[in-house]
């Protein structure tokens, strides 16, 4: 869970708006968007640590933007 938060924190996504089901599934998935809850399903077929770059790409694809270091300091 902390590894997933490390990625989502870089996007400035509020942890309260993230849902991560306990059950892992397939190659992992990300659904939702910038206006509401983001559901992140960790992968069952590969180690989560190897999947984290794909998580970042999926978040970019949903319209989230990486925050600058200045923006991160505001949290």
Q: Are 47 and 71 in contact (CB under 8 A)?
A: no
Tens of pLDDT, residues 45-64: 999 999 999 999 999 999 99
Does pLDDT of 9 surpass 80?
yes
Does pLDDT of 72 surpass 70?
no
**Mean local confidence (pLDDT), 30-53:** 91
| Residue extents of the structural domains in the chain | 2-67
Q: Would you state the pLDDT for residue 69?
A: 72
Pairing relationship of beta strands 18-19 and 38-41 according to DSSP bridges: parallel
Q: pTM for this one?
A: 0.85
Query: Could you tell me the two tokens for 40?
Result: 């992140």
């Amino acid at each position: 869970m902390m590894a997933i938060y490390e990625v989502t924190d870089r996007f400035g996504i509020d942890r309260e708006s993230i849902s991560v089901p306990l059950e892992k599934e397939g190659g992992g998935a990300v659904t939702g968007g910038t206006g509401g809850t983001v559901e992140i399903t960790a992968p069952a077929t590969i180690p989560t640590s190897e999947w984290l770059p794909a998580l970042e790409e999926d978040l970019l694809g949903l319209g989230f933007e990486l925050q600058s270091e200045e923006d991160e300091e505001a949290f």
